[in-house]
Structure 1
Amino acid sequence: MSATATRTDVPAYDRPAGAAITAAFARDFGTRWEAAWNSHDTDQVLALLHPDIRWNDTVFWPEVIHGHADMRKYIEKIWAVMPDVHFREVQFFTAVEDGRALYLFEQTAAAPPASGLDTTATTYGCDIFLGFRDGLLADYMAQYEIAEMMRQFGMLPPRKGRIGGAYLLSLASPK
C-alpha cells in the first residue's frame, strides 16, 4: 500500500486527515446534505457520495458500507423504517485544513410503520464527514442515540434511574 493510500482496515478517526477543503465548500456541502436527506430521494443523497464511499453507521446497519450499491440498500431501508424522518441542522463544524466537517443535527420521525405505534421521537446526533474526494463525501461516520429514540417511541421500558450501560444490560435480563 502506498503512503498516500487510504487504509480501510482501521477506524476512520485513526486514519490520516483528508485533503484540505475550503470553508465555502464545507458550508455548501452541509446545506446540500440536509436538503438531500430531507428530500427523501435516494439519488439526491447518492449524488453527494463518492462511488467508493466508506460509510460507518453501525448504530443502524450491521457493518461498514462500501460503495454506492450497498449505500442504495441502506438509504432505502432508512426511508422504509422512517418514511417521514426530518433533519434540522443545529450546528456545522469544520476542520477545513484536515478536510473534515461535522453536521450536528436534530432528527424527528414517527415510529416505524411496522411498529403500529402512533408516536414520534426527537433526538440529536452528528454526521461526521471524515474525507472528501473529487468534491464528494468519501469517508463518513454516524453518531446518534438509537436507544433514546426507541424509548421515546415506547419500544423500550423507562430507564428507572439506571445509568450508562446498566440500562442497556437490563434490557437483556430475563424478566
Structure 2
Amino acid sequence: MKPSDPTDGDFLRRFATEWLAAWNSHDTEQVLALLHPDIVWEDTVFWTDVIHGRESVRNYVERIWKAMPDVGFDEVQLFTAPEDGRAVVLFRQQGSGPPQLDPARRFDTYGCDIFLEFTDGLLSRYLAQYEINEMMRQLGALPPRNGKIGGAYLLSLLGGKPSAAAPAHSASQRQPEA
C-alpha cells in the first residue's frame, strides 16, 4: 500500500462530503479539483462514452449544469470499503430539467456515486448510476409506465419493436409483459 492511497473511513467520509458540496456549488472548478488528471469517468446513463482525463470531464460537468440548472444532491447514505479504498454515496437528486421541457415540472429521484479508485488523494475511477427514466417521466419527457415493467416499458417507447442494435428473440425466449 502506497502512503498516498486513501484507504481509511475518515478520508472517504471527508471526500464524500466535499464531493456533494462541490456538486451543489455548481462550480465546475470545485468538482474538477477533486479529480485526478487521469480520471476514468463512467456515466453512460447521461454521456455516450467513458470519459478519460480531468479536462475531458469539464464538458460533461458543464452539460450537467445546462441540462439541470438547479439540480441539488442530498446524501442518503455513505457506504465505504476502506480496505479497498472505495465508497458509494447513495444520493437523492432534485431539480428542474432542461429549459426546453416544462419549466414548472421538477424531478426527485435517487442515484449512486461510486468511487472505485483514488490516486494521490484524488478520485481516479468513477461510476455513476441513477434513475433517468423516472426523472424523464417526472419532467414529462416520457409517458407513464401504464403497468409495464423493465424492458417491456422501454420497448413500448419504440412501438414494441426491438432496435437494430438489439437482436430479436424467439417467442420462447421472451419474457411476458407485466
- 1:68 is displaced (CA, Å) by 1.4
Quote the Cα distance in structure 1 between the aligned partners of 2:6 and 2:68. 34
Alignment-derived partner of residue 144 in structure 1: 130
* Structure of higher CA gyration radius: 2
Q: Which stretch of the first structure deviates more once superposed, 108-117 or 87-96?
A: 108-117
Q: Which stretch of the first structure deviates more once superposed, 35-44 or 106-115?
A: 106-115
| Matched position secondary structure for 2:137 | helix
Give the conservation status (yes or no) of the 8 Å contact 1:20–1:98.
Answer: no
Give the conservation status (yes or no) of the 8 Å contact 1:150–1:156.
Answer: yes
Are the structure 2 counterparts of residues 120 and 65 from structure 1 closer, same or farther at C-alpha, using a change threshold of 3 Å? same
TM-score (norm 2): 0.85
Alignment-derived partner of residue 166 in structure 2: none
TM-score (norm 1): 0.87
Q: Could you say which structure has the higher helix fraction?
A: 1
Alignment-derived partner of residue 37 in structure 1: 23
Q: Deviations over 1:50-100 (max 9, x none)?
A: 000000000000000000121000000000000100000000000010110
Alignment-derived partner of residue 87 in structure 2: 101
Q: Percent identity?
A: 63
Quote the Cα distance in structure 2 between the aligned partners of 1:173 and 1:59. 22
Runs of 4+ in structure 1 displaced over 4 angstroms?
none
Which amino acid in structure 1 is aligned with residue 113 of structure 2? D
Alignment-derived partner of residue 64 in structure 1: 50
Which amino acid in structure 1 is aligned with residue 125 of structure 2? D
Alignment-derived partner of residue 168 in structure 1: 154
Q: How many residue pairs are counted as aligned between the two chains?
A: 156
Give the conservation status (yes or no) of the 8 Å contact 1:42–1:76.
Answer: yes
Alignment-derived partner of residue 123 in structure 1: 109
Which amino acid in structure 2 is aligned with residue 115 of structure 1? L
Which amino acid in structure 1 is aligned with residue 90 of structure 2? L
- 1:117 is displaced (CA, Å) by 3.6
**Structure 1 stretches of 5 or more lacking a match?**
1-18
